[in-house]
Structure 1
Amino acid sequence: MGADSREGHAGRGTRESRSRRVVVLAACGGLLMTGCATMPDSGDVQEVRGANQGDSQVRVYAVAPRDNADPDEIVDGFLEAMTSDDPGFATARKYLTKQAARTWKPEQSITVLTTAPDRDQADRNADPDNQGRAYPLSGRKIATVDARHAYQPISPATYLQSIHVVQQPTGNGKEKEWRIDSLPPGLVLGEADFLRNYRSVNKYYFASGEDWVVADPVYIRQRQDPVTRMDPVTQTVRALLEGPTNWLKPAVDSSFPSGTELKKGVTTLTTDDQSTLKVPLNTKADLVGAQPCRRMAAQLLFTLRDLTSVRVEQVELQGSTGQSLCRLGKGQAAEFAAVRDTERDESPYFVDEHHKLMMLDVGGKEANAPIEVPGPLGKGATRLRSVAVDRGETRAAGVGENGRDLFVSSITTEQEAAPAILSSKAAKPTDRLSAPSWGGRGDLWIADRDPAAPQLWMVPDGSGESVKVRTPWLEDDARIESLRVSADGVRIALVVTRGGDTTLQIGRVQRQTTGEEPVVSVLDLQPAAPRMESVTAVSWAGPSRLVVVGKEAGGVQQIRYLQTDGSTSATSVLPGLSGVTSVAAPHKDSVPVVADSGDDGIVRLAPGTNWQPVVKTGTSPVYPG
């Protein structure tokens, strides 16, 4: 049965027949129910429906194949058993031949479909010797997860595979039973089953050559991992020690010595009564120095902070003989954060009806009047089209009203207007400069949308000589409509138009110095919203999350949260709002999201509320960054 709705139809396994293969239970206290389901000790196995088909509290228990099961039941039973938490997938392996059970590696990969795979009737022509039966599997493939737990989304595509069954002798050698001898690699799950069994976790590594951490999202099991038998905390630590995902690896460093692993046999990690997590490592960590050990502990603390199942206030790293290598608390780890002044509330800014930079006060119950900003871009004479404020809220970058020129000035003191630091030669305002964005290193980024010479620029510290960013993918009819750089400066969100399609891409920022000249590149673009037919706007909303405005095929405009790896959840859609042209999200969840909604002007969305008007006339709302 699983978490997906699988409606029966002619020639395919029905929901009713499949529900005999598994038992679905809700964890006690996890759902609002009058009681807790338990395993029956007699009678037929019955389907138990959870309150939410994608709810992570729902448990699926696999049921072994019955004696003399027909081949249809074998295939259906195996597809269901793949969705369970069965240790070692032992029950699922009972549906396989001995050889297939030995070679099947469910941990090797996950194929994610929109719904559970459809199983067609056996195609007997696919086995001309009539030694078995081949069952076609089909669906819409939306993502894969590799052996390093990295989620890779794709635009929905046709999935076609098959499962082959043969008859093999039973244990007594006198009869035969149907078993699967050929199957697709890894696990094949519908999206709801995937989200029920797996959860997104951010691992953290250091930006190359820097002292702040970068989020690297991966997926781990919600509960004990069937293959490693590790609990979620231990799975997360193990994933961190394995190193960054292949996509992020060229731009980050791990402080753990190569080959560092958990001490052999460790499958459970728990905190003591002081909320200290002790992590025993192998011999590779025994000779680590004090400062590298602190950085290792910081990576662990940042990685574990999103796990709601455990509260970790301090980490102690232990060597191979149990000796303490170092301890680090959450307060001490804060020095390694990409955004360090987390106590100060962020303030959003916007361009008012007079094309001036203004600051918004959106934190109270009622939105207060906008506040004038000092300097040429606020109280001065420069008329603006779009803006960006640096993360320290001391400087602003603004594109002039005609879209041609980029200016930078203080927003804390009055000063004379400085000349433009970058200009576009495009004829039309809409083909000139995009809205700017400040990176975590204090660098300023902007795109020139000139059809004759589309280009991405980086201005070191917002005041140095402009650097032309290497973008080997920016060719033909492609151009960057808008961009937002992450707080860590390692990733950049790009709204890219190519061939009439406007998509959201995440690029990796890589830096190197050749002689005196810095070389900055944005490489390996990955789709972040492949199921959206068009994307209008994007904003960072934390270390690895984005707020995206766009439309799915045939749908209406929506605003939703997405992970930078392109994954999402059923609860990620924000309340509806029409005509949104731009959106801005804070680094902390406690501060409202703001948006430009056309006729409604600038609006805000505080946690637990609906959209509320802030300013009737204004455009380009932004948070620092």
Structure 2
Amino acid sequence: MPDSGDVQIVKASNPGDSQVRVYAVAPRENADPDEIVDGFLEAMTSDDPGFATARKYLTRDAARNWKPEESITVLTNAPGRDQAVRMADPESKGRTFPLSGRQIATVDASRAYQPKTPADYHQSIHVVQQPSADGKGKEWRIDSLPKGLVLGEADFLRNYRSVNKYYFASGENWVVADPVYIRQRQDPVTRMDPVTQTVKALLEGPTGWLEPAVDSRFPTGTELREGVTTLVTDDQSTLKVPLNRKADLVSTPACKGMAAQLLFTLGDLTSVRVEQVEIQGSNGQRLCLLGKGQARDEFSPVRNPGRVENPYFVDDDGKLMSLSVDGRQPDRPVAVPGPFGKGVVALGSVAVDREESHAAAVLQEGRELRVGSLTTDEELPAPVVTSAGLRPEDRLSAPSWDGRGDLWVADRNRAKPRLWMVPGGQGERIEVGTPWLRDGARVESLRVSADGVRIALLVTKDDRTTLQIGRIERTFAEGRQTVAVTDLEDAAPRLESVTAVSWAGPSRLVVVGTEAGGVQQVRYVQTDGSTSATSVLPGLNGVDAVAAPYGEQAPVVADSGSDGIVRLGPGANWQPVVKAGGSPVYPG
């Protein structure tokens, strides 16, 4: 608690209660312009079918042309207008009401959330008088307004929720998450329930950013059968999904891939329990049936997704230790088999492959990246990557394995910063294409997703470290593989500086960072940059590194500096595990 300093007035934030519903109210007779603007802004936050009540605040032309499904502008708070700056418009005898706020994101027509560095928002609503319905007088109505919906963050989170759609990594047989936002309840425009909205969004294809790296097993043009607005499970928790003619001739393997995409996607919806999916053709015929367990076993990017996850860390002697944290009391750390557990070399940072058969370690001086067995005592091979950086902090970053078994590391050498990928952890290293790595920018640390399609990067430029999400693109020609990381997007623009990051599932990250003028915090962030009111984890000071499991049962583990290795279990607070140690990691 602070014991000095001035008291400041701050605006309380409403986290948004999804159980609260707003019912739009039509404009009253002879309402003045202020009431028309306020009523319309309130009506935009409702679930009114077709936004019919909101349209009553608009002129006939404006009501016909307004497309609320076109986009959503998200502000920190509901859009405000200042009575003092209302301006008269002598030519049209109308009035212009400036709208203001702090914009933090947009959601496009494909439902993709795009965060923005908070910036001033300035638009306006123009009202004019038009003949009333009975023709005996005139009523104020809006004839010009911003496109789409304009919502405060609390109203946005009350009405919309994040859902992962799933597609297949290009040329592979495992799925990749693609987060979008759908309505919490029935959609005002399509009249579809949340399950049907989610299926429709999946059929429409991946968002623009992810599209170059994934494929869909649904044939182009596949849609729900005409007139379907509700999908419900039967007493066997089977969801029957009727499709149009485009799906009638799909092969059985392709149909099972389609069903897997549906099962993974619907698994994010808490409102429905789907154990299996039956895909039906245009005449109601069954095309295929797939269960959740089979989909998970065949198409998950993580092998054995139900297994217990346990973390690793480096002790004070530079040895790699494993740690069981699934019980009430943490077990004593155990040195791993093989050279890294015997102290043959002193380790700085580590990464364990997802098979848990090998580990990659950057030695304490940061010059060498070496790969060793976790099952045998075989001699350590030669380094797979070396750095010529002058200082340890200018050499190799902590490494990371993707789900394909490839190893990644950044060389932070100020003279020539680069990103490396080592196929299989032992092949000839490949310099990754990074056209954005220039003008003094460099990668401080990295974590690759289990699907191998996305990479989380902490990029430092102009003395500021930001969290960027990049898309991994691979091409093969004449027996050679080319790899590039493209289309970087700022995943945490509201954080002034980011210290550490870890994947925490298919599309979620645990991030350690600080907001402008704030203190360090640990929070969950979606890969699209969105957060929720419950995303901030309990406070923890001096966090240097963080590691999260792929599933939700194992705890988050962190290196808290003077407190050593600590863990955060579900519904608990941070607990000390090991006093001396660092570089905590889960496989990956």
The structural deviation recorded for 1:99 is 0.4
1:78 touches 1:92 (CA, 8 Å); kept in 2? yes
Task: Say if 2:556 is the partner of 1:593.
Answer: yes
Q: Distance in 1 between matches of 2:116 and 2:87?
A: 32
Match of 1:370 among 333, 336, 360: 333
In structure 2, what is the equivalent of residue 623 of structure 1? 586
In structure 2, what is the equivalent of residue 518 of structure 1? 481
Q: Distance in 2 between matches of 1:605 and 1:53?
A: 23
Match of 2:94 among 120, 125, 132: 132
In structure 2, what is the equivalent of residue 94 of structure 1? 56
Q: Distance in 2 between matches of 1:588 and 1:378?
A: 26
2:468 touches 2:490 (CA, 8 Å); kept in 1? yes
1:260-409 pair list within 5 angstroms: 260-334=222-296, 335-409=298-372
Question: Equivalent residue of 1:284, what SS?
Answer: helix
Task: Say if 2:430 is the partner of 1:467.
Answer: yes
Task: Say if 2:393 is the partner of 1:430.
Answer: yes
In structure 1, what is the equivalent of residue 512 of structure 2? 549
In structure 2, what is the equivalent of residue 199 of structure 1? 161
Q: Distance in 1 between matches of 2:206 and 2:115?
A: 18
1:110 touches 1:187 (CA, 8 Å); kept in 2? yes
Name the amino acid aligned to 1:556: V
1:107-146 pair list within 5 angstroms: 107-121=69-83, 125=87, 127-146=89-108
Task: Say if 2:182 is the partner of 1:220.
Answer: yes
The structural deviation recorded for 1:122 is 7.4
In structure 2, what is the equivalent of residue 563 of structure 1? 526
Question: Equivalent residue of 2:256, what SS?
Answer: helix
The structural deviation recorded for 1:516 is 2.1
1:218-257 pair list within 5 angstroms: 218-257=180-219
The alignment's TM-score, normalised by the length of structure 2, stands at 0.97
Cα deviation, 1:524-564, whole Å, max 9, x if unaligned, reads 00111110000000000000000000001111000001111
Q: Distance in 2 between matches of 1:90 and 1:53?
A: 27
Q: Distance in 2 between matches of 1:76 and 1:83?
A: 12
Q: Distance in 1 between matches of 2:479 and 2:376?
A: 33
The structural deviation recorded for 1:119 is 1.3
Q: Distance in 1 between matches of 2:227 and 2:556?
A: 45
Name the amino acid aligned to 1:600: D
Cα deviation, 1:107-159, whole Å, max 9, x if unaligned, reads 00000000000112375656341420000000000000000000000110110
Name the amino acid aligned to 1:59: R
In structure 1, what is the equivalent of residue 172 of structure 2? 210
Question: Equivalent residue of 1:220, what SS?
Answer: strand
2:547 touches 2:558 (CA, 8 Å); kept in 1? yes
Name the amino acid aligned to 2:370: F
Q: Distance in 2 between matches of 1:497 and 1:122?
A: 43
Q: Distance in 1 between matches of 2:513 and 2:477?
A: 40
Question: Equivalent residue of 2:486, what SS?
Answer: strand
In structure 1, what is the equivalent of residue 9 of structure 2? none
Question: Equivalent residue of 1:61, what SS?
Answer: coil
Q: Distance in 1 between matches of 2:540 and 2:85?
A: 49
Q: Number of residues paired by the alignment? A: 575
In structure 2, what is the equivalent of residue 3 of structure 1? none
Q: Distance in 1 between matches of 2:19 and 2:86?
A: 40
1:122 touches 1:133 (CA, 8 Å); kept in 2? no
Task: Say if 2:19 is the partner of 1:85.
Answer: no
Match of 1:410 among 359, 365, 373: 373
Q: Distance in 2 between matches of 1:123 and 1:610?
A: 49
The structural deviation recorded for 1:89 is 0.2
Cα deviation, 1:207-237, whole Å, max 9, x if unaligned, reads 0000000000000000000000000000000
Could you say if the C-alpha distance between residues 450 and 126 of structure 1 is closer, same or farther in structure 2, counting changes exceeding 3 Å?
Answer: farther
Q: Distance in 1 between matches of 2:223 and 2:496?
A: 43
1:122 touches 1:135 (CA, 8 Å); kept in 2? no
Q: Distance in 2 between matches of 1:340 and 1:301?
A: 17
2:92 touches 2:128 (CA, 8 Å); kept in 1? no
Q: Distance in 1 between matches of 2:380 and 2:150?
A: 60
Could you say if the C-alpha distance between residues 53 and 481 of structure 1 is closer, same or farther in structure 2, counting changes exceeding 3 Å?
Answer: closer
In structure 1, what is the equivalent of residue 5 of structure 2? none
Question: Equivalent residue of 2:102, what SS?
Answer: strand
1:121 touches 1:136 (CA, 8 Å); kept in 2? no
1:16-165 pair list within 5 angstroms: 54-121=16-83, 125=87, 127-165=89-127
2:86 touches 2:98 (CA, 8 Å); kept in 1? no
The structural deviation recorded for 1:519 is 0.8
The structural deviation recorded for 1:380 is 3.9
Q: Percent identity?
A: 74
Q: Distance in 1 between matches of 2:125 and 2:87?
A: 14
Q: Distance in 2 between matches of 1:342 and 1:95?
A: 52
Cα deviation, 1:286-323, whole Å, max 9, x if unaligned, reads 11111100000000000001111111011011111111
In structure 2, what is the equivalent of residue 489 of structure 1? 452
In structure 1, what is the equivalent of residue 6 of structure 2? none
2:316 touches 2:580 (CA, 8 Å); kept in 1? yes
Could you say if the C-alpha distance between residues 99 and 461 of structure 1 is closer, same or farther in structure 2, counting changes exceeding 3 Å?
Answer: same
Q: Distance in 2 between matches of 1:570 and 1:240?
A: 26
In structure 1, what is the equivalent of residue 4 of structure 2? none
Gaps of 5+ in 1: 1-50
1:569-588 pair list within 5 angstroms: 569-588=532-551
Name the amino acid aligned to 1:595: A
The structural deviation recorded for 1:364 is 1.2
After the TM superposition, which of the residue ranges 408-417 and 145-154 deviates more from structure 2? 408-417
In structure 2, what is the equivalent of residue 183 of structure 1? 145
1:489 touches 1:509 (CA, 8 Å); kept in 2? yes
The alignment's TM-score, normalised by the length of structure 1, stands at 0.91
The structural deviation recorded for 1:399 is 0.2
Could you say if the C-alpha distance between residues 71 and 122 of structure 1 is closer, same or farther in structure 2, counting changes exceeding 3 Å?
Answer: farther
Could you say if the C-alpha distance between residues 140 and 124 of structure 1 is closer, same or farther in structure 2, counting changes exceeding 3 Å?
Answer: closer
Question: Equivalent residue of 2:339, what SS?
Answer: coil
Question: Equivalent residue of 1:118, what SS?
Answer: coil
In structure 1, what is the equivalent of residue 439 of structure 2? 476
In structure 2, what is the equivalent of residue 30 of structure 1? none
In structure 2, what is the equivalent of residue 540 of structure 1? 503
Task: Say if 2:130 is the partner of 1:168.
Answer: yes
In structure 2, what is the equivalent of residue 4 of structure 1? none
Q: Distance in 1 between matches of 2:326 and 2:556?
A: 11
The structural deviation recorded for 1:475 is 0.5
Gaps of 5+ in 2: 1-12
In structure 2, what is the equivalent of residue 21 of structure 1? none
Q: Distance in 2 between matches of 1:337 and 1:608?
A: 27
After the TM superposition, which of the residue ranges 402-411 and 511-520 deviates more from structure 2? 511-520
Name the amino acid aligned to 2:136: K
